[in-house]
Amino acid sequence: MHKPTPRTRPGFMPPFILERIAAHGDARLKGCAQRTLEADAYFRTRRDPQIAANLALPEGSPRPGEPARYIYSADYREVLPGTLVREEGQGDTGDPAADEAYSGLGVTYRFFWEVFERNSIDDRGMPLLGTVHYGQDYENAFWNGAQMVFGDGDGELFNRFTAALDVIGHELAHGVIEREAGLVYTYQSGALNESFADVFGSLTKQYHLGQTAAEADWLIGAELLTERVQGRALRSMAEPGTAYDDPILGRDPQPGHMDDYVETEQDNGGVHINSGIPNHAFYLAAMALGGHAWDAAGLVWYDTLRDPRLAEQSDFATFAALVIDNAGRRFGNESREAAAVRDAWQAVGVTT
């Protein structure tokens, strides 16, 4: 298992969206976006994976297959973890954000346990900590090395971040990714980090809803957007670059093919942008195989996440080669599963 080292921490909301709002929103929206950017800049320099080892965490899962959830409220301040409002086995609080976080963490735990036989983030029953009501109109969610943190959004463009199950799954998945592969959160390895989180976040939602690949919407963060936004979600795995086109948010910049790969120093080298390419590869493989996406494609991606050959700074080509190899190892090199995976990476231009 990978031992994490200090590095830049992931957040769900792409910084370029917040920068657009700070430049094009009204006075209130500009203030919300600017405060979020300032809070994120602070935590980018302080989010240390070692915090999980140094923090006195509450009791973990008593038995494999049973989560240990602890939900806190920051009471609209930028404090962590905050005040404990609900823990494992307790009933609803009546606070939608707290209850959504409790439910969403349970659903995500169940997905990882029932599909991959993984016992929480560290596979050893690590307690699942979630803090809600973080900050004033905070427009983001993040994993800080020990827990998941959710803002309430501004209420005009973005709803509370706990309203989207795939966002909760995405943030928990960052913890799993950190423990298994420690993918450096910059450039292509960072885009793979984001893509893994999107894949597992989407699969969590599909598993919860019992959807086949054909039935799923393959959208990430659809429930975040209010009716004011001209868009369907923050990202689309089926059609990268089409999730939104809005006067304030701008246009979805994600490519779905290496021909359109974005060279940039912004967004940690485009981690939220170029993740559209591996996202689309997963979508193509899952659609080609049909049925439930977690039954074949999901298993291969998880195998690859746990593959010791996956280095911290792996690029797309290295990752694709490992995914193809793991598809062959699990299903056979001449299997339809292996063929679907090979075709998917060719279709997005990563392999020839």
Distances (CA, A) of 237 to 38, 197, 282: 29, 12, 8
- Domain interval for residue 337: 187-347
pLDDT of residue 279: 98
Contacts of 243 (CB under 8 A, 6+ apart): 219, 220, 231, 232, 233, 234, 235, 236, 252, 254
Identify whether residues 215 and 250 lie together within a single domain. Answer: yes
Domain identity same for 170 and 192: no
Per the annotation, the verdict on 280 as an active-site residue is no
List, for residues 260-309, the tens digit of each pLDDT value: 999 999 999 999 999 999 999 999 999 999 999 999 999 999 999 999 99
Ranges of the chain with pLDDT below 70? 1-9, 43-55
Indicate which residue of 133, 170, 174, 272 is catalytic.
272
Enter the pTM of the model.
0.94
| Pair type for strands 245-246 and 69-73 | unpaired
pLDDT for the residue 185: 95
CA separation (Å) from 106 to 109, 262, 301?
A: 5, 36, 22
Burial class (CB in 10 A: 0-12, 13-18, 19+), 3: exposed
Together in a domain, 322 and 221: yes
Instruction: Out of 180, 201, 227, pick the residue that ends a domain.
Output: 180
Residue of 100, 171, 178, 337 with catalytic role = 171
Q: E strands within 218-313? A: 219-220, 235-236, 245-246, 250-251
At 22, which CATH number?
3.10.170.10
Position 220: which residue type?
A: I
Tell me the C-alpha to C-alpha distance, in Å, between residue 58 and each of 55, 68, 87, 143, 146. Answer: 9, 9, 10, 17, 11
Residues 167 and 212 in one domain: no
Q: Is there a domain that residue 299 lies in?
A: yes
Per-residue model confidence (pLDDT) at position 8: 59
CB 309 within 8 A of CB 320: no
| Cis amide prior to 96 (ω within 30 degrees) | no
The domain total for the chain is 2
**Known catalytic membership, residue 334:** no
At 243, which CATH number? 1.10.390.10
pLDDT at 11: 86
Considering the domain architecture, whether residues 154 and 204 belong to the same structural domain is answered as: no
Do 21 and 85 belong to one domain?
Answer: yes
β-pairing verdict for 128-132 and 69-73: parallel
- At residue 62, the pLDDT reads 85
Q: What average pLDDT does the structure give for the chain?
A: 94
Token pair recorded at residue 45: 């320099």
Are 146 and 262 part of one and the same domain? Answer: no
List the beta strands (DSSP E) in the chain: 69-73, 83-87, 128-132, 141-143, 148-150, 219-220, 235-236, 245-246, 250-251
Tokens of 238: 């089926």
